[in-house]
Each structure stands twice: as C-alpha cells, then as structure tokens.
Amino acid sequence: MRIALIEDDDLHAEVVGRWLTREASVRLERFRSPTEFFTDLSNRTDGLPDVVFVDYHLGDTTGAEFVAETRSLGDARADIGIVLLSGLDISEFNSVLNGLDVDGFLLKDDLSRERLAMVAGLAVQSARRRQKLATFLRG
C-alpha cells in the first residue's frame, strides 16, 4: 500500500510514519504541505498513492482545504483515499468533518499503530468504491 503523509510537524510525522511503516506492505512518503504533494504528483510517473493522511492544521492552510481542492480535480486524483488527522477535540473535529468528503479520520490524541492500519485499509476500500463509481459514471 502506498501512503502519502502531509504533515508539517516533524514529531507527528515521525510517530505516524514509524507506526505505518511497521506494516510490511506499506510504502510511505512524507510531504510538508499540500503544495509539495501536488508538485510531486505532477512530476510522478509511477501513479497515485492509495491513501493520503493529511493533518488538519498545516500552517497557512488546512487539511479541509486540501480535501476540497483534491475532490474538485477533474481526474483520478479526485478519487484517492483521504484520511484527516487532527489534534482538535472531538466536538470541534466533528464540526470540521461535517460535509467533508474524507474516507477516514483520526484524532492525534487517540492514535495507535492498529488504528492507523485499520483506517488506512478502510480508506483504500472507500477510495476504490469511489473510483469504480467514477469510472462507471464517466462511461
């Protein structure tokens, strides 16, 4: 499974990255911003990641803005799996998630290796269903 992590905090990136890569089939690539991620995608020839884990607070932008931008793209990038990570409390995070087209979410205060692996797998399944539907609708 190819996972992209968009996280501007080095400590959080280290913890999430270490836990995710303990799974034998995971290849992880870290980006510090959505701009860095999109630039890399435009230069890449080996396809899209299976899922993107994105932090909610990213300096001058948010993970919610990344989700909206990604979903509005008119190509296969719009259908990648996205998991939103946040340090917000659950009630505040719930209002952020309302109406946001993500395939999973995790609170940073409640992270574990098992939860990361489970949510990554569910996000990939969700993205594949979205991709099949998009292919069907495009004819």
Check residues 1 and 87 and name the one with the higher pLDDT. 1
Rounded Cα distance, 101 and 26, in Å: 24
Q: Helix, strand, coil shares of the chain as percentages rounded to 5? A: 50, 20, 30
Percent of the chain past pLDDT 90, that is, above it, reads 36
Domains of the chain and CATH, by start: 2-138 (3.40.50.2300)
Q: What is the pLDDT of residues 72-108, one digit of tens each?
A: 988 888 889 999 998 777 777 666 777 788 898 888 8
d(CA 134, CA 129): 9
In contact, 72 and 64? CB cutoff 8 Å: no
* Dist. CA 53–CA 116, nearest whole Å: 10
